[in-house]
């Protein structure tokens, strides 16, 4: 009896299967599924290939930029060896790693003078997209960050500032003083002030706004500003500071 019941059930199941899932339908559904899988696989392969190609292109571009930078540095080195004084129009190279703080480690400065408009491109070891200001571990009312170009317009120590960079008449600078406000992070040129200052003896007066642009891929800060009376014989000093650490190039020796 059990045997007949089992045969009957098997027959019924086979009939249900025959009615609901004919072999042709089953094959065509499988074909659709596998076509979809193939399409998905091709799309995925294309996406992966595109991503790899983009990354490779970026990597090649970075390598090219690096090689260009190296060539420029080599050319600049020969220029720096010939010139003793830093004057507008020259390119000057500084030692790499003479400070451990990469965003103030000056590597090179390219300068250009058009009439009285001075352009300085300052190459640094690294410029982070954001810096932290008003750090809690430093005292109040100190200069926390600075990137600056001092200009002794008349190459005369008797005029201009009578301390520090003796004889400098103007400074183009990014400066951030910590006055005890809340600690915060952001881009350098948003958090710091960008100005040109005029020196007279022991005082420093605001002169004009400084045009600053930062290239985070090339790690450069470019200053453009009008300096009254500047000539190709004026003397330039370059300076970067993070709290108590500094890096300088063409520092004053008179």
> Quick one: which of 87, 71, 234, 95 has its CA closest to 168?
234
Residue with the two structure tokens 């995925």: 44
Rounded to the nearest whole angstrom, what is the least distance from the CB of residue 232 to Ca ion in the complex?
A: 15
Instruction: Report the distance separating Cα 102 and Cα 124, nearest Å.
Output: 7
Q: In this complex, which beta carbon is closest to Ca ion, that of residue 122 or of residue 178? A: 122
Q: Is the dihedral of CA 188, 191, 194, 197 positive or negative?
A: negative
Rounded to the nearest whole angstrom, what is the least distance from the CB of residue 252 to Ca ion in the complex?
A: 11
Q: In this complex, which beta carbon is closest to Ca ion, that of residue 94 or of residue 144? A: 94
Helix (H, G, I), strand (E, B), or coil: what is residue 151? strand
Q: In this complex, which beta carbon is closest to Ca ion, that of residue 45 or of residue 98? A: 98
> Quick one: which of 165, 147, 148, 167 has its CA closest to 157?
167
Q: In this complex, which beta carbon is closest to Ca ion, that of residue 165 or of residue 223? A: 165
Q: 153 with 167: CB under 8 angstroms?
A: no
Phi and psi for 246 in degrees, rounded to 5? -135, 160
Helix (H) or strand (E) holding 36: helix 23-82
Q: In this complex, which beta carbon is closest to Ca ion, that of residue 199 or of residue 223? A: 199
Rounded to the nearest whole angstrom, what is the least distance from the CB of residue 94 to Ca ion in the complex?
A: 4
Rounded to the nearest whole angstrom, what is the least distance from the CB of residue 98 to Ca ion in the complex?
A: 4
Rounded to the nearest whole angstrom, what is the least distance from the CB of residue 217 to Ca ion in the complex?
A: 20
Q: 213 with 187: CB under 8 angstroms?
A: no
Rounded to the nearest whole angstrom, what is the least distance from the CB of residue 160 to Ca ion in the complex?
A: 4
Q: Which residues bind Ca ion (CB under 5 A)?
A: 94, 98, 105-106, 152, 154, 156, 159-160, 167, 169, 247
Q: In this complex, which beta carbon is closest to Ca ion, that of residue 169 or of residue 242? A: 169
For Ca ion, which residue has the nearest CB?
A: 160
């Amino acid at each position: 009896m059990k045997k007949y019941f089992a045969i009957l059930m098997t027959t019924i199941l086979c009939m249900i299967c025959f009615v609901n899932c004919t072999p042709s339908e089953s094959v065509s559904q499988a074909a659709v599924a596998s076509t979809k899988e193939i399409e998905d696989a091709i799309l995925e392969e294309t996406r992966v290939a595109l991503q790899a190609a983009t990354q490779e292109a970026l990597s090649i571009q970075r390598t090219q930029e690096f090689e260009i930078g190296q060539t420029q540095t080599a050319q600049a080195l020969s220029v720096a060896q010939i010139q003793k004084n830093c004057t507008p129009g020259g390119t000057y190279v500084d030692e790499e790693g003479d400070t451990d703080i990469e965003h103030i480690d000056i590597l090179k400065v390219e300068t250009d003078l058009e009439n009285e408009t001075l352009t300085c491109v300052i190459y640094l070891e690294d410029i982070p997209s954001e810096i932290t200001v008003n750090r809690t571990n430093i005292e109040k009312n100190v200069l926390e960050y600075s990137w600056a170009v001092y200009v002794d317009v008349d190459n005369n120590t008797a005029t201009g500032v009578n301390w520090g960079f003796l004889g400098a008449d103007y400074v183009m600078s990014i400066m951030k003083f910590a006055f005890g406000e809340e600690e915060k992070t952001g881009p350098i040129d948003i958090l710091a002030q960008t100005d040109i200052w005029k020196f007279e003896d022991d005082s420093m007066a605001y002169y004009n706004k400084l045009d600053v642009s930062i290239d985070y891929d090339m790690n450069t800060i470019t200053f453009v500003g009008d300096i009254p009376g500047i000539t190709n014989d004026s003397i330039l000093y370059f300076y970067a500071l993070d709290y108590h650490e500094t890096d300088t190039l063409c520092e004053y020796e008179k």
